Amino acid sequence: MRTPEEIALNAGGDLPRLVLPQPGVFAERALRLRQLAAGHPMRDYLLLMAVLAEAQHARLAGYPAVTLPTAAQADAASQRGEALLDASVWPRDAVWRDEWRALIRHALEHLPPDSPARPSVEAALSLTDEALETQAGRLLTGVSLGLDMALAPLVAAGLQLFFTRLVMATQAALPGAFGYTDDEGRCPCCASLPLASVTRVGGETEGHRYLHCTLCNAEWHMVRVKCTHCRGTGAVRFRSLEAVAAPDDAAAAKRPSIQAETCDDCGHYLKIVHMTQDVQVEPVADDLATLTLDLLVSDAGYARHGTNLLLLFGEADTDSADDTGEPPPAPRGPH
């Protein structure tokens, strides 16, 4: 049986295929992170991410011009069914390194003096251009060997800022440049995996599911109850930390705002956040704040599809990992 979304699409409905990042994306994230940090076991880490998001918002408004793709490149990518700004191969402007350092300095200015993250953030500024590019390359290609796990969220914040700016500027210069791609499980803008999906509210996107890019903050449509890893539909289940009411309970109609969408066919999962249940949810912030849900489904044998670049796990290459206030290790999803 086809879903309502599939019926609407086949009928030529006006459902937007792609929702591109807006200027306030980082400000909204920072607000949600501060809201979630109150009384949270990961309070210090969430507050660090909030400060970084506020710094991203401040830098985004005045971000310098970056090299944009040409119309010919856009046409070629569309013909091949590939993402125009594939982050694994797109050349990064040198300006991103200067902006990354400005981002880190901005964060330092706004971190509380007693923040446990301050030593690591300060140490990050000593990174050479070559070392920064090496860490960035490993992050964007999913190479964990040699990746500094304590530094990774800071580098990721700069990459998010750069690619978000790049996507926004490309759309302004070449409207409609981001065409359909062959892999519906990856971002059609930068080819990154999603960190979560979101059921949206308002306008034409009301009630529809979109995947949220971990890198450039673009969102693209995928029908509901469909595994983002294997694209199967018959073995999708939903798990949550909240108790589910009995079927005859009047409260059963209200599902939790954060769930893990698991697939028994391929053994993968991805979180889904429901704006239809809580309009304040934000994919990145709520994903960071629900690590316990990751542990729950991991213990049940599921592997995460996609990743949150602000929350990677593994063996750190430096002794500063404990200084960032990061949560305890948990399984890391593939990128």
Residue with tokens 């798990």: 239
Residues 163 and 259 in one domain: no
pLDDT tier, 167 (very low <50, low <70, confident <90, very high otherwise): very high
Please identify, among 143, 173, 203, the residue that sits at the C-terminal boundary of a domain.
173
pLDDT tens digit string along 266-284?
999 999 999 989 999 999 9
CA distance 195 to 2: 26
Rounded Cα gap, residues 334 and 293, in angstroms: 18
Q: Are residues 232 and 130 in the same domain?
A: no
**Predicted confidence (pLDDT) at residue 328 exceeds the cutoff of 90:** no
pLDDT for residue 136: 97
Same-domain status, 165 and 66? yes
Any bridge partners for residue 198, and if so which?
Answer: 210, 273
Lowest pLDDT segment from 11-20, 106-115, 165-174, 273-282:
11-20
Residues 279 and 241 in one domain: yes
Residues 111 and 51 in one domain: yes
245: pLDDT strictly greater than 60: no
One domain, residues 139 and 225: no
The answer on 299 and 237 residing in a single domain is yes
Whether 182 is covered by a domain: the verdict is no
Closest CA to 256 of 238, 240, 276, 237: 240
Using alpha carbons, select from 119, 187, 186, 188 the residue that is nearest to residue 154. 119
- Check residue 175 and report its DSSP letter: T
* Predicted confidence (pLDDT) at residue 45 exceeds the cutoff of 50: yes
Q: How many CA atoms lie within 13 A of 114 on its CB side?
A: 0
| 332 domain-assigned | no
Is 308 in contact with 287 (CB distance < 8 Å)? yes
pLDDT tens figures, 52-96: 999 999 999 999 999 999 999 999 999 999 999 999 999 999 999
Which stretches does DSSP call E strand in 173-235?
194-199, 209-213, 219-221
Q: Which domain holds residue 115?
A: 22-173
Tell me the CATH number at 313: 3.90.1670.10
| pLDDT tens, position by position, 184-229 | 999 999 999 999 999 988 777 778 999 999 999 999 999 988 999 9
- What sections of the chain are H helices per DSSP? 4-10, 25-37, 43-61, 71-80, 95-110, 118-124, 129-141, 152-173, 283-288, 291-299
Give a yes or no: residue 1 inside a domain.
Answer: no
Lowest mean pLDDT among 190-199, 281-290, 324-333: 324-333
* 311 in the same domain as 207: yes
Nearest-angstrom CA–CA distance, 222 and 203: 17
* Strand-pair partners of 19: 219
In the predicted structure, residue 335 carries a pLDDT above the cut 50: no
Domain assignment of residue 136, yes or no: yes
- Within a domain: 8: no
Rounded CA-CA distance 90/192 in Å is: 12
Label residue 1 by pLDDT band (50, 70, 90). Answer: very low
pLDDT tops 70 at residue 315: no
> How high does pLDDT run on average in the chain?
87
Give the tokens for residue 329. 């290790």
Same-domain status, 256 and 142: no
- Map residue 86 onto helix, strand or coil: coil
Q: Is 116 in the same domain as 229? A: no
Residue 6 belongs to some domain of the structure:
no
Classify residue 290: in a domain, yes or no. Answer: yes
Cα–Cα distance, 227 to 185 (Å, whole number):
9
CA atoms within 13 A on the CB side of 173: 14
Higher pLDDT, 288 or 324: 288
Instruction: Report whether pLDDT(323) > 70.
Output: no
